[in-house]
Amino acid sequence: MLNLLKPPIEAFQEFVLLSIRAFRNIFRSPHYADDIFIQMDVIGVGSLFIVSLIGLFSGIVMALQMARALTQYGAQGQVGQIVAITLVRELGPVLTAVLVAGRNASGIASELGSMKVTEQIDAMRALGTDPIQKLVTPRLIALATVLPLLTIISDFIGLIGGYFIASTMLGLTFSEYWTTAWQALEYNDLFQGLLKPFVFAIVIALVGCFYGMRTSGGTQGVGRATTSAVVSSSVWIFVLTAFITYVWNRAFVKQ
Amino acid sequence: MPDDSSILRFEDVSLHFDATVALDHVSFDMHPGQTYVVFGAAGSGKTMLLKVAVGLVRPNSGRVWLFGEEITHHREQDLFDMRARVGILFQEGGLFDSLTVAENVAYPLTNHRVLREMITKGGSNGSGPRTVEDRVRESLRFVELEQTLDKFPNELSGGMRRRVGIARAVVSEPALLLYDSPTAGLDPITANTIIALILKERDLRNTATIMVTHRYQDGHLMANFRYNPNSGQVERAGGGGDVSQVSTKFLVMNEGRLVFEGSESELQASQDSYVRKFLRVGGA
């Protein structure tokens, strides 16, 4: 029994230690600004197109589904409101994060994993750099900065997608759609919608780096690390969004 | 305590990962100017021996001294300054494939705090100010790869990558050099070129050297040949007084244990079947 529990507990301990060191390094020199900007470019600019595309279609699908339901009650006018709330609170953050997890948690894990198996991580330590400072912290900072921004873009393009359906299929005017969408949102929703991607970004960066840094067993190991990174970061995104929503509702929403 | 002249000392060092033993009560004491050749089958703990020596891996028990200072419980930050005085060639090369050859070779000079400070202050040993670029060129000229400065490691052949690895290991002019299987996976001619470079570095700067290998030939060359700076060639070490034979020591490892320690003639005289295996493989 004890032997069965040992590996996961050790892995968790390793993860916590890595996280602590990654956060501590934010306030310690040397700072690798170049690496932060490179990562922002790779993750942020690199994901922009696909994130916009997914945002657009999630807005379209939401509007289509809701249009059918709302028409039954003659409440087509509410479509902007519903699209705005679902996108900003939940769909925007989660879909963007899952997409970035698939694209970048895997990228981070495979890059760090290959560096690990070709002894580049050891070489780094031997040549005077802390790999956590040089590799993990820049990715953490970059992701925590760009994922909320990507989410904002995705939300906005999703709303445009919703407007496209509302105007072409439901015959809503520009102001009918955008006024209800705008009025439906409270600061509460915006904060929730920005807190989530920030938390997800930390999870994606740390999980990707964690699996990358503990890769062993050659190229096969890199493959395993990549898969594990995507799977566990995606699962954690869904678990955390449920948790954050629950806590948020308890704390800030008057029932 | 080791005496003052000790450069690397292991005292009863053990290391294990779960059930596998990597090092099993290993002890030895190395002095400046000495060459150690470590033989062992795959998985016998050779690589771990080198990693423990510079604190990349912490032993489970025992003590390690590097340059007379005990490093067993050093923090990573303190180890960085110690490692600046050690050059390492990794088995897989360990070159950063996102950096050019020149950036790779410059890496220790620009990242080790002590080396960075030394360069900004000027020449390390009164040889006048030398910039990072000068030293990188010098080091690449040493391995005869000056023309590859702006190439990336994946554009080079296996042997060339190994030579860039050597250039990066020697650029900081370390007091101790560790080579992890420098000839593994290379054809015999390229392998001999690599060994010639290792001899050149050792004999020009009298660097203490540990070389891990499974090729008997490599060890034989290290023990019996010297680099002659006048002719620029590697030659058989001279006659009866054979100095290098005395300063070259052979270690043989089996499943983490040190099963043999001695000179080449003692190695050849050994009756141990595991030890003899390495003599046969080389066929020298």
Write out pLDDT tens, residues A193-226: 999 999 999 999 999 999 999 998 888 999 999 9
Q: CA triplet A230, A236, A239: central angle to 5 degrees?
A: 145
- For residues B153 and B113, state if they share a domain: yes
Going by pLDDT thresholds of 50, 70 and 90, the confidence category of residue B240 is: very low
pTM (two decimals):
0.88
B78 Cβ under 8 Å from any chain A Cβ = no
Count of domains forming chain B: 2
Which site among A127, A133, A213, A215 would you substitute to test the B interface, given the most B Cβ atoms closer than 10 Å to its Cβ? A127
Q: Kindly report, residue by residue over B46-67, the tens digit of the pLDDT.
A: 899 999 999 999 999 999 999 9
pLDDT of residue B238: 65
- For residues B195 and B154, state if they share a domain: no
pLDDT of B284 > 90? The answer is no
DSSP state letters, chain A: -HHHHHHHHHHHHHHHHHHHHHHHGGGSSPP-HHHHHHHHIIIIIHHHHHHHHHHHHHHHHHHHHHHHHHHHTT-GGGHHHHHHHHIIIIIHHHHHHHHHIIIIIHHHHHHHHHHHHTTHHHHHHHTT--HIIIIIHHHHHHHHHHHHHHHHHHHHHHHHHHHHHHHHHS---HHHHHHHHHHH--HHHHHHHHHHHHHHHHHHHHHHHHHHHT--SHHHHHHHHHHHHHHHHHHHHHHHHHHHHHHHHHHH---
- For residues B29 and B81, state if they share a domain: yes
B74 Cβ under 8 Å from any chain A Cβ = no
From B173, B194, B215, give the residue that closes a domain. B173
* Better-scored residue on pLDDT, B242 or B10: B10
Show residues of chain A in contact with B93, CB under 8 Å. Answer: 118-119
Show residues of chain B in contact with A129, CB under 8 Å. Answer: 111
- For residues B73 and B212, state if they share a domain: yes
Please answer yes or no on whether B93 and A119 come within 8 Å at the CB atom: yes
Please answer yes or no on whether A118 and B115 come within 8 Å at the CB atom: no
Find the domain containing B135 and state its range.
Answer: 98-173
- Rounded distance between C-alpha atoms, residue B15 and residue A159, angstroms: 59
Find the domain containing A240 and state its range.
Answer: 33-252
Please answer yes or no on whether B108 and A129 come within 8 Å at the CB atom: no
pLDDT of B245 > 60? The answer is no
pLDDT of residue B112: 86
Radius of gyration of chain A from Cα atoms? 21
Residue in A205, A230, A238, A244 with CA at minimum distance from that of residue A23: A205
- Rounded distance between C-alpha atoms, residue B124 and residue B260, angstroms: 39
Residue in B264, B270, B279, B251 with CA at minimum distance from that of residue B45: B251
- Mean pLDDT, residues B221-244 taken together: 76
Bridge partner list, B177: B87, B209
B85 Cβ under 8 Å from any chain A Cβ = no
What CATH number is given to the structural domain containing B250? Answer: 3.40.50.300
Is residue A94 included in any domain, yes or no?
A: yes
Measured in angstroms, the CA of A128 and the nearest CA of chain B are apart by 5
Is residue A219 included in any domain, yes or no?
A: yes
Going by pLDDT thresholds of 50, 70 and 90, the confidence category of residue B239 is: low
The token duo for B130 is 């030398």
Q: Kindly report, residue by residue over B127-186, the tens digit of the pLDDT.
A: 556 788 889 999 999 888 989 899 999 999 988 999 999 999 999 999 999 999 999 888
- Mean pLDDT, residues B267-281 taken together: 83
- For residues B80 and B130, state if they share a domain: no
Measured in angstroms, the CA of A153 and the nearest CA of chain B are apart by 31
Show residues of chain A in contact with B154, CB under 8 Å. Answer: none
- For residues B148 and B267, state if they share a domain: no
In this structure, the strands spanning B69-70 and B35-40 are unpaired
Give the single-character DSSP code of B275: H
The token duo for A86 is 């679902």
How far from chain centre, in Å, is Cα B56? 15
Spell out the residues 6+ positions from residue A154 whose beta carbon is closer than 8 angstroms to its own.
A51, A52, A54, A55, A58, A92, A95, A96
Is residue B91 included in any domain, yes or no?
A: no
pLDDT of A93 > 50? The answer is yes
- For residues B198 and B259, state if they share a domain: yes
pLDDT of B126 > 70? The answer is no
pLDDT of B243 > 70? The answer is no
- Mean pLDDT, residues A150-174 taken together: 94
Q: What is the ipTM of this complex?
A: 0.86
B96 Cβ under 8 Å from any chain A Cβ = yes
- Rounded distance between C-alpha atoms, residue A42 and residue B98, angstroms: 14
* Better-scored residue on pLDDT, A61 or B124: A61
What are φ and ψ of residue B127, in 5° steps?
A: -90, 20
The token duo for B277 is 């295996």
- For residues B17 and B122, state if they share a domain: no
Show residues of chain A in contact with B112, CB under 8 Å. Answer: 127-128
Residue with tokens 């921004």: A149
Count of domains forming chain A: 1
Using a pLDDT cut of 90, give the percent of chain A over it. 80
Chain B residue at shortest CA distance from A129: B111
Please answer yes or no on whether A120 and B97 come within 8 Å at the CB atom: yes
Closest by Cβ to B56, choosing from A118, A126, A128 = A126
> CA dist B113 to A69, B50, B96, Å?
66, 22, 19
From B173, B208, B235, give the residue that closes a domain. B173
Show residues of chain A in contact with B167, CB under 8 Å. Answer: none
Measured in angstroms, the CA of B10 and the nearest CA of chain A are apart by 19
Chain A residue at shortest CA distance from B170: A127
B20 Cβ under 8 Å from any chain A Cβ = no
Measured in angstroms, the CA of A206 and the nearest CA of chain B are apart by 21
DSSP state letters, A145-206: HHHHHHHHHHHHHHHHHHHHHHHHHS---HHHHHHHHHHH--HHHHHHHHHHHHHHHHHHHH
Using a pLDDT cut of 90, give the percent of chain B over it. 40
Bridge partner list, B66: B8, B69
Chain B residue at shortest CA distance from A134: B111
pLDDT of residue B246: 53
Is residue A85 included in any domain, yes or no?
A: yes
Q: Kindly report, residue by residue over A70-84, the tens digit of the pLDDT.
A: 888 888 888 899 999
Cβ-contact B13, B36 below 8 angstroms:
no
pLDDT of B116 > 90? The answer is no
Give the single-character DSSP code of B154: G
Going by pLDDT thresholds of 50, 70 and 90, the confidence category of residue A142 is: very high
Burial class (CB in 10 A: 0-12, 13-18, 19+), B122: exposed
- Mean pLDDT, residues A140-155 taken together: 97
What are φ and ψ of residue B269, in 5° steps?
A: -85, -10
> CA dist A34 to A53, A140, B132, B151, B252, Å?
29, 14, 20, 21, 45
pLDDT of residue B281: 56
pLDDT of residue A255: 61
pLDDT of residue A84: 93
Length of chain B: 284
- Rounded distance between C-alpha atoms, residue B60 and residue A233, angstroms: 33
- For residues B184 and B276, state if they share a domain: yes
Going by pLDDT thresholds of 50, 70 and 90, the confidence category of residue A192 is: very high
Is residue A22 included in any domain, yes or no?
A: no
- Rounded distance between C-alpha atoms, residue A93 and residue A199, angstroms: 10
Spell out the residues 6+ positions from residue A24 whose beta carbon is closer than 8 angstroms to its own.
none
Is residue B252 included in any domain, yes or no?
A: yes
Residue in B253, B256, B274, B260 with CA at minimum distance from that of residue B20: B256
Chain B residue at shortest CA distance from A30: B111
- For residues B227 and B112, state if they share a domain: no
- For residues B72 and B201, state if they share a domain: yes
The percent helix, strand, coil of chain B (3-state, each to 5) is 40, 25, 35
pLDDT of residue A161: 95
Show residues of chain A in contact with B115, CB under 8 Å. Answer: 128
Helix (H) or strand (E) holding B159: helix B158-170
B107 Cβ under 8 Å from any chain A Cβ = yes
Please answer yes or no on whether B113 and A128 come within 8 Å at the CB atom: yes
The token duo for B155 is 């554009």
Measured in angstroms, the CA of B280 and the nearest CA of chain A are apart by 30
Please answer yes or no on whether B108 and A128 come within 8 Å at the CB atom: yes
Cβ-contact A158, A87 below 8 angstroms:
yes
Bridge partner list, B138: none
Q: Say which range, B10-14, B55-59, B234-238, B245-249, has the weakest mean pLDDT.
A: B245-249
pLDDT of A106 > 90? The answer is yes
Spell out the residues 6+ positions from residue B170 whose beta carbon is closer than 8 angstroms to its own.
B87, B139, B142, B177, B201, B207
pLDDT of B241 > 90? The answer is no
- For residues B62 and B115, state if they share a domain: no
Closest by Cβ to A123, choosing from B84, B94, B113 = B94
Residue in B24, B10, B56 with CA at minimum distance from that of residue B180: B56
Cα separation of the two ends of chain B: 39
From B127, B148, B173, give the residue that closes a domain. B173
Going by pLDDT thresholds of 50, 70 and 90, the confidence category of residue B270 is: confident
Which alpha helices (H) appear in B171-242, and where do they start and end?
Answer: 188-205, 216-224
pLDDT of B99 > 80? The answer is yes
Going by pLDDT thresholds of 50, 70 and 90, the confidence category of residue B35 is: very high
